[in-house]
Structure 1
Amino acid sequence: MKLIIRLIFIGALTYFLSPIFTWWTAMAVAFLVCYISPSSGLNAFVAGFLGVGLVWMGHAWNLDVQNNSAFSNTVAEIMQVSDPILLVFATGLVGGLSGGFASLSGTFFRQLFLKQKKRSLYS
């Protein structure tokens, strides 16, 4: 359940703050959300990956639809990609990896300040 809540927070804040601020705001959002809410490493990475990746892919697809794929076709020719829609998926992948590693960094940064419980021999 926390994964879904974290994913919604990261996605919503990325969606609303990215047009106002710079592109790396999505990474700051993912870092802060996972710093504030405790989670495991995999849980944080998946939330950041899906939260940022889906927003970036949706935005890239929306821009592609608005200009009738003119820009995508031009960039696909330059990069020698067969299908311009692969650029939309590549944008989502780059955003997802960036958001995933930022949220993972937030989780690990939080764990730096937690005192480790001393384990006994019998526990």
Structure 2
Amino acid sequence: MNFILRILIIGISTYYISSSLPWWSIIFIPFLLGLIFEDNYISHFLSGFIGVTISWIFLLLSIEYQSESILSLKVIEILKINSTNTLIIITALIGGIVSALSSITGLSLINIFRKKKDKRNYRFN
């Protein structure tokens, strides 16, 4: 349940944050969720990656259709990429990786300060 909740929170907040703030502002929400939710590293990596990747695909497609591909065509010429879809996928994957690493960083930071329970060693002589 935490996994799906994190994906939804990251995805929705990224969609609205990315339209008004710089692209690197996507790191704040996954970082905070990494601090709040206790789970394993793979779960945090995937929730950050999936949430931002899907959110950025929707955001980039809406920008693409509003601007009639003017900016995308110029970027494609500079980077020598085949199509706008490839550009959108590459951009979304970069955002997903950045967000996933941010979520893992939040989890790692809280694990440094979290006290681990001692394993009890029962010995019967």
TM-score by length of 1: 0.90
- How far the C-alpha of 1:15 sits from its partner, in A, is 2.0
Residue range with higher mean Cα deviation, 59-68 or 97-106? 59-68
SS of 2:75's equivalent in the other structure is helix
Determine the C-alpha separation between the residues in 1 that align with 2:45 and 2:68.
Answer: 34
SS of 2:19's equivalent in the other structure is coil
Does the 8 Å CA contact 1:6/1:34 hold for their aligned counterparts? no
2:51 maps to a residue whose letter is G
> What residue ranges of structure 2 are gaps of 5+ in the alignment?
none
Q: 2:91 — aligned with what?
A: 91
- How far the C-alpha of 1:116 sits from its partner, in A, is 1.8
Residue range with higher mean Cα deviation, 14-23 or 83-92? 14-23
Task: Provide the identity percentage.
Answer: 30
Aligned residues: 123
Q: 1:2 — aligned with what?
A: 2
Determine the C-alpha separation between the residues in 2 that align with 1:21 and 1:67.
Answer: 19
TM-score by length of 2: 0.88
> What residue ranges of structure 1 are gaps of 5+ in the alignment?
none
SS of 1:65's equivalent in the other structure is helix
- How far the C-alpha of 1:24 sits from its partner, in A, is 2.1
2:93 maps to a residue whose letter is L
Residue range with higher mean Cα deviation, 84-93 or 112-121? 112-121
- How far the C-alpha of 1:16 sits from its partner, in A, is 2.5
Q: 2:72 — aligned with what?
A: 72
Q: 1:113 — aligned with what?
A: 113
Q: 1:11 to 1:71 in 2, by over 3 A?
A: same
Q: 1:77 to 1:22 in 2, by over 3 A?
A: closer
Per-residue CA shift, 1:38-72, capped at 9, x if unaligned? 11100001110011121122111111111222221
Residue 104 of structure 1 pairs with residue 104 of structure 2: yes
- How far the C-alpha of 1:121 sits from its partner, in A, is 4.5
Determine the C-alpha separation between the residues in 2 that align with 1:83 and 1:19.
Answer: 23
